[in-house]
Structure 1
Amino acid sequence: MRILLVEDDALLGDGIRAGLKLADYAVDWVRDGDAARLALLDHDYHACILDLGLPRRDGLSVLRDLRRNGKQLPVLILTARDTSADKVAGLDAGADDYLTKPFDLLELQARLRALLRRAGGAAAPTLAHAGVVLDPASKQVSRNGQPVSLSAREYTLLHDLLRHKAHIRSRSQLEESLYSWGEETGSNTVEVYIHNLRRKLGADFIHTVRGLGYRLGDPT
Structure 2
Amino acid sequence: MKMRVNAAEQDAAEGERKGRKASKETRRQQLIEATIDSLAKRGYSETTLADVADGANLSRGIVNFHFESKEKLLVATLQYMADEYAVHWQAALDRAGPRPADRLWAVVAADFDRRICTKRKLAAWCAFWGEAKSRPTYQALCGARDVKYQETVIALCAELKAEGGYDYAPEPMALSLCAMLEGLWLRLMMGDGTTRETAHEAAIVFIVTAFPNHVSYQGPK
TM-score range for the pair, normalised by the shorter chain length: under 0.3
Query: Which is richer in strand?
Result: 1
Rg larger for:
2
Question: Which protein has the bigger helix share?
Answer: 2
When the two structures are superposed, what TM-score results if normalisation uses the length of structure 2?
0.27
